[in-house]
């Protein structure tokens, strides 16, 4: 198939572009480079032995999108483009709603007018909110507790309404848990701008000497070691989940929802210690106060993706840390080495 990937120069997007190229698809990437570098795609081309087409464009720019769809016939879209920092979304809700919602509406209108009605969307475990028991199951009532999460929930609603109104739409809503790791080559990986918000990129920057120590947000949760539990998923497994979802929905119209997670919870300290194993020595850390909005523990019920897509995670926490470390140590400053 010819797949248009929005946000395809980003962390999960670049790994998915590689999986798509390796599976024989043709790929066109649209990204405004707001949080990424074109270098990721140069390296993806090296790894795949053939390139994706890259168009630098903003989803907020309707004429530019129109041009993309006129110039490149596509069969399906994987939609990663969006802003993703929970804390920033609380500070800048307008920016988040505008970029994520309006960007998606522009994309869907352009798709519809060009007769492209197959889409895989990056949703998030954050849509399950605070009220659901774990593990999270797709049929639960959702309700995010922050503006970023609400953009995901609202886009899920838009896509569900679209699927209900017009049976020509094929929609996959993929709810990712906590993506970490990097391609095992160490050539592509996560390259956060500024201070990393997420645990593993922060640990990796401590390990490479860019940060003094990890602050563990809360050691007094009601969990086995007092730190929060999350369902970490290797980004390569996640990328392959997209290829599986796309294959599945290509032949099946309607709206489908799948959790992409491992089904297991791992604590902050377990993750830190696994990373230390990969690095080969202890890393400095300090247990501090809880971070506002953090839930003590959540993980996926991953059974639907296995039953429907034949997909499940294959990589361990140790592999996630080894691969993340290989990427970080060979690219201490990410894609834009000084
Ligand atoms: P990322 O920031 O690396 O990738 C997102 C890409 O979208 C970036 O390359 C950015 O430049 C681009 N982009 C943003 N707004 C755009 C716009 N208006 N027009 C064109 N391009 C635009 O993030 P990621 O970690 O790869 O996440 C990809 C998707 O998965 C996002 O939608 C994110 O919300 C979602 N998600 C991520 C996680 C996670 O922890 N990384 C978890 C769940 C869901
Ligand atoms: C994991 C654990 C922290 C940093 C976020 C989004 C979610 C999804 C994935 C997009 C928590 C602790 C972290 C640090 C720490 N993204 N931690 N010190 O919060 O589960 O999920 O990313 O959709 O929507 O909310 O991931 O990596 O930030 O935190 O102790 O410096 O690590 O408190 O327990 P989170 P995370």
Instruction: Report pLDDT digits (tens) over 279-290.
Output: 999 999 999 999
C-alpha span between 158 and 150 (Å, rounded): 12
Same domain, 204 and 120: no
Is the sign of the CA dihedral 102, 108, 111, 113 positive or negative? negative
pLDDT at 323: 99
pLDDT at 291: 97
CA-to-CA separations, 325 to 139, 272, 277, 279, 331, in angstroms, rounded: 36, 12, 10, 7, 10
Q: How far is the CA of 312 from the centre of ligand 2 (A)?
A: 22
Same domain, 137 and 281: no
Same domain, 93 and 203: no
Q: How far is the CA of 7 from the centre of ligand 1 (A)?
A: 6
Same domain, 129 and 238: yes
5 — phi, psi (to 5°)? -115, 110
Q: How far is the CA of 146 from the centre of ligand 2 (A)?
A: 13
Taking the CA of 7 as reference, the closest ligand is 1
- What total number of domains does the chain contain? 2
Enclosing domain of residue 218: 199-230+264-307+315-330
- Is residue 272 domain-resident? yes
- Is residue 187 domain-resident? no
SS3 readout for 287-300 = EECCCCCCCCECCE
Atom of ligand 2 nearest to the CA of 228: 34
C-alpha span between 204 and 151 (Å, rounded): 29
Q: How far is the CA of 218 from the centre of ligand 2 (A)?
A: 12
pLDDT at 337: 78
Same domain, 135 and 216: no
pLDDT at 336: 84
Instruction: Report pLDDT digits (tens) over 242-255.
Output: 999 999 999 999 99
Same domain, 127 and 220: no
Mutate to test the pocket of ligand 1, among 5, 12, 16, 180 (most ligand atoms within 8 A of CB): 12
Same domain, 11 and 138: yes
- Is residue 192 domain-resident? no
Which residues line ligand 2 at a C-beta cut-off of 6 Å?
84, 86, 124, 126, 178, 197-199, 202, 214-217, 228, 230, 268, 291, 294
- Is residue 212 domain-resident? yes
Q: Assess whether the C-beta atom of 36 lies below 6 angstroms from ligand 1.
A: yes
Same domain, 145 and 274: no
Question: Which protein residue's CA is at the shortest distance from atom 34 of ligand 2?
Answer: 228
Same domain, 86 and 35: yes
Q: Taking the model in full, what pTM does it have?
A: 0.99
- Is residue 91 domain-resident? yes
CATH number at residue 292: 3.90.25.10
- Is residue 110 domain-resident? yes
Same domain, 30 and 150: yes
pLDDT at 128: 98
Same domain, 81 and 117: yes
Q: Assess whether the C-beta atom of 231 lies below 6 angstroms from ligand 1.
A: no
Question: Which protein residue's CA is at the shortest distance from atom 33 of ligand 2?
Answer: 217
Mutate to test the pocket of ligand 2, among 194, 230, 275, 286 (most ligand atoms within 8 A of CB): 230
- Is residue 191 domain-resident? no
ipTM above 0.95, yes or no: yes
Owner of token pair 């997909």 = 311
> Encoding tokens for residue 151?
């953009």
Give 93's contacts (C-beta < 8 A, 6+ positions apart).
Answer: 147
Q: Which residues pair with 230 in a beta bridge?
A: 266
C-alpha span between 165 and 148 (Å, rounded): 26
Q: How far is the CA of 130 from the centre of ligand 2 (A)?
A: 15
**Residue ranges of the chain whose pLDDT lies below 50:** none
Q: Which residues are catalytic?
A: 148
Same domain, 72 and 127: yes
- Is residue 295 domain-resident? yes
């Amino acid at each position: 198939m010819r797949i248009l990937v929005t946000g395809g120069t980003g962390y999960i997007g670049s790994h998915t572009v590689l999986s798509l190229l390796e599976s024989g698809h043709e790929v066109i990437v649209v990204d405004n480079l707001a949080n990424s570098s074109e270098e990721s795609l140069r390296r993806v081309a090296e790894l795949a032995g053939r390139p994706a087409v890259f168009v630098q464009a903003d989803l907020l720019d309707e004429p530019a999108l129109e041009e993309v769809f006129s110039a490149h016939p596509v069969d399906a879209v994987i939609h990663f483009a969006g802003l993703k920092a929970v804390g920033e979304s609380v500070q800048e809700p307008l920016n988040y709603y505008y970029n994520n919602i309006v960007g998606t509406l522009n994309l869907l209108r352009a798709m519809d007018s060009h007769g492209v009605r197959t889409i895989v969307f990056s949703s998030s475990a954050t849509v399950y909110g605070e009220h659901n028991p774990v593990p999270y199951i797709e049929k639960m009532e959702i309700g995010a507790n922050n503006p970023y999460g609400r953009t995901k929930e609202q886009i899920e609603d838009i896509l569900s309404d679209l699927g209900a109104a017009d049976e020509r739409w094929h929609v996959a809503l993929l709810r990712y848990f906590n993506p970490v790791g990097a391609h095992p080559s160490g050539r592509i990986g996560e390259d956060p701008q500024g201070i990393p918000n997420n645990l593993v990129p922060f640990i990796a920057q401590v390990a490479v000497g860019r940060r003094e120590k990890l602050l563990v947000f809360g050691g007094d949760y009601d969990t086995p070691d007092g730190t929060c539990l999350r369902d970490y998923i290797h980004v390569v497994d996640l990328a392959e989940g997209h290829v599986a979802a796309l294959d599945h929905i290509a032949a099946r119209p309607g709206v489908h929802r799948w959790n992409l997670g491992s089904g297991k919870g791992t604590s902050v300290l377990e993750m830190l210690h696994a990373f230390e194993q990969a690095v080969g020595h202890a890393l400095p850390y300090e247990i501090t106060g809880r971070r506002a909005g953090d839930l003590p523990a959540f993980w996926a019920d991953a059974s639907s993706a296995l039953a429907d897509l034949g997909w499940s995670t294959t990589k361990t926490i140790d592999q996630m840390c080894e691969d993340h470390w290989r990427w970080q140590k060979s690219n201490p400053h990410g894609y834009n080495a000084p």
